[in-house]
Amino acid sequence: METKLRIALQKKGRLNEDSMKLLKEAGIKFNVGSGKLVASSPNFPIEVLFLRDDDIPQTVADDVADIGIVGENEMCEKNFDLTISKRLGFSKCRLSLAIPKAEEYTGLDFFKGKKVATSYPVILEKYFMEQGIQADIHEIAGSVEIAPGIGLADAIFDIVSSGSTLVANRLKEVELVMWSEALLVSGSNLSPEKQQLLEELVFRINSVQAANSNKYILMNVPNDKIEDIVQILPGMKSPTVLPLADKGWSSVHSVIQEKKFWEIIGRLKELGAEGILVIPIEKMIL
């Protein structure tokens, strides 16, 4: 019987979309029908379970699933013994304390004796304990942001992305407690065969992410400027230099990080580079 890796994913929402996109870019297809909670892949030994995001940590901890993609906030809140196999870099957000906009905030002492509504009582209790704050933590399942407005709490502790929800409910963010992103997590009882499959999956994800964060660049360069240009190109090893039919010129090929793109392009132009082409990289094997 073929060994399969079982992965738990959020069944709907942004985390689901980003997770499925990543797996697709890693070359893994799923036979997913409408409303299906279990799906298999025809081209990789993996099976997916679609669950609520807050159920994923326990599902992996109980070995019902071997691995899962879950928000760091949910993993910390559930506090199960899981291994972070890979930080995925998407579905980023922050968990923050917020109070009514009209309230004056002078520091953490504001929360002493206050009632704070949250869906993340474990994270908040740990934070308050570390800060020496005694507050009344009121756990609610959803719509945390309306709690102060209806007199249920004095403040909230919740996920913040753009901050528009806080503004809409006349709240202001006053303390950032933690950053969160999507994580690939695994349990502690993987067989050697499943561990090997996990390593292959992580290898594919690394290749996809490396490609997404880098660009392939080609340019025409005067021969007397090649040495200067090579010095500023952070290629994987060294740039490729090929002679052109036009004497005195060469074609230089390299890979650059997207975050350094505009800084490097400006310097290349100053050194006389022309005909600069920038091409997306589909996969990058490190």
pLDDT above 70: residue 1: no
Whether the CB-CB separation of 15 and 93 falls below 8 Å is answered with no
In a domain, 66, yes or no: yes
Compute the distance between CA of residue 148 and CA of residue 155 in angstroms, rounded to an integer: 6
Say what the pLDDT of residue 235 is.
Answer: 57
Instruction: Please check whether residues 76 and 188 belong to one and the same domain.
Output: yes
Mean pLDDT of the residues in the chain: 90
pLDDT in tens, 120-143: 999 999 999 999 999 999 999 888
Reported as a pLDDT band with limits 50, 70 and 90, residue 37 is: confident
In a domain, 19, yes or no: yes
Higher pLDDT, 30 or 121: 121
Residue matched to tokens 């050194």:
271
Say what the pLDDT of residue 101 is.
Answer: 94
pLDDT above 80: residue 35: no
Instruction: Please check whether residues 108 and 239 belong to one and the same domain.
Output: no
Compute the distance between CA of residue 107 and CA of residue 114 in angstroms, rounded to an integer: 13
Instruction: Please check whether residues 45 and 66 belong to one and the same domain.
Output: yes
What is the token pair recorded at 176? Answer: 């950032």
Given CA atoms 240, 241, 244, 249 in this order, what sign does their dihedral have?
positive
241: domain range? 214-280
Average pLDDT value for residue range 93-112: 94
Instruction: Please check whether residues 68 and 140 belong to one and the same domain.
Output: no
pLDDT above 90: residue 192: yes
In a domain, 242, yes or no: yes
Instruction: Please check whether residues 205 and 86 belong to one and the same domain.
Output: yes
In a domain, 286, yes or no: no
pLDDT in tens, 9-20: 999 889 999 999
Instruction: Please check whether residues 62 and 104 belong to one and the same domain.
Output: no
Q: What percent of the chain has pLDDT over 90?
A: 65
Compute the distance between CA of residue 231 and CA of residue 250 in angstroms, rounded to an integer: 16
Instruction: Please check whether residues 72 and 102 belong to one and the same domain.
Output: no
In a domain, 41, yes or no: yes
pLDDT above 80: residue 283: no
CATH number for the domain spanning 242: value is 3.30.70.120
Q: How many domains does the chain have?
A: 3
Say what the pLDDT of residue 2 is.
Answer: 77
Q: What percent of the chain has pLDDT over 70?
A: 97
Average pLDDT value for residue range 77-99: 94
Say what the pLDDT of residue 255 is.
Answer: 87
Average pLDDT value for residue range 166-171: 92
CATH number for the domain spanning 163: value is 3.40.190.10
Instruction: Please check whether residues 72 and 197 belong to one and the same domain.
Output: yes
The alpha carbon of 194 is separated from its chain's Cα centroid by a whole number of angstroms, namely 24
Residue matched to tokens 């528009």:
164
pLDDT in tens, 205-223: 999 888 888 888 899 999 9
Instruction: Please check whether residues 86 and 185 belong to one and the same domain.
Output: yes
DSSP string of the chain, one letter each residue: ----EEEEEESSSHHHHHHHHHHHHTT------TT-SEEE-SSSSEEEEEE-GGGHHHHHHTTSSSEEEEEHHHHHHHT---EEEEE---S-EEEEEEEETTS---SGGGGTT-EEEES-HHHHHHHHHHHT---EEEE-SS-GGGTTTTTS-SEEEEEESSSHHHHHTTEEEEEEEEEE-EEEEE-S---HHHHHHHHHHHHHHHHHHHHHTEEEEEEEEEGGGHHHHHHH---SS--EEEE-SSTTEEEEEEEEEGGGHHHHHHHHHHTT-EEEEEEE-S----
Reported as a pLDDT band with limits 50, 70 and 90, residue 145 is: very high
Average pLDDT value for residue range 59-83: 95
Sorted by sequence, the CB contacts under 8 Å of residue 219 that are 6+ apart come out as 229, 251, 252, 268, 273, 274, 275, 276, 277
